Amino acid sequence: MGEISVNRQNLSRLLSDSAQSQGVPYQQAFAAIAASYRGRPPHEIVPALKDAADRALLGFTWSDLREQAEAISSGRPYTLRVTVTGR
């Protein structure tokens, strides 16, 4: 399970039900990557996750991305604990 802290104003960058027009939120991009890359080696998945995180302006560490890639590769669910900060 991963963890991330997100400012309340930036929460839309993470969630797919966002009303904001900031491109594809990370949750939606993650689901698309999971569907496309399931079963592939994590080292092939990390660049796609990094690109999606960068587009959403989310600061996942390499370790975070690797953990997500391992979950996608194995087909197991990935849980991300989100702490919302600020107003």
Task: Give the pLDDT of residue 35.
Answer: 96
CA gyration radius for the chain?
A: 12
Q: What is the predicted pLDDT for the residue at 27?
A: 85
Q: How much is the pTM?
A: 0.76
Mean pLDDT value across the chain: 82
User: Is the model more confident about 50 or about 24?
Assistant: 50
- Tens digit of pLDDT for each residue in 47-62? 999 999 998 888 888 9
| pLDDT beyond 80 at 32 | yes
9-13, 16-20, 36-40, 75-79 — which is least confidently predicted?
16-20
Backbone angles phi, psi at 61, to 5 degrees: -80, 170
Give dist(CA 28, CA 49) in Å, integer: 11
Residue 70 CA to residue 43 CA, distance in Å, equals 9
Determine contact, residues 66/42, Cβ cutoff 8 Å. yes
